Structure 1
Amino acid sequence: MDFYYSKTDGLTILRGVRNREGVRKAIGTEYRVLPKTEFSENSTDSFGQLIAKCWYDKDNILIEIELYDLDARLFISNKNVLGISCLELKEILKSLDYTYILDEENLGINIFDDTIRFYIPNIDEDESSAKVEAVLIKIKNEN
Structure 2
Amino acid sequence: VRAQFPAFNVSALNGKAFFENAGGSYACGRVIDRLTRYYRERKVQPYAPYEASRLGGAEMDEARARLAAMLGVETEELSFGPSTTQDAYVLAQAFAELLKPGEAIVVTDQDHEANSGPWRRLSARGIEVREWKLDPETGRLPLEGLARLLDE
Shorter-chain TM-score: what band? under 0.3
State the TM-score, normalized to the length of structure 2: 0.21
Q: Of Structure 1 and Structure 2, which has the larger fraction of its residues in helix?
A: 2
State the TM-score, normalized to the length of structure 1: 0.22
Q: Which has the higher contact order (CA 8 A, sep 6+)?
A: 1
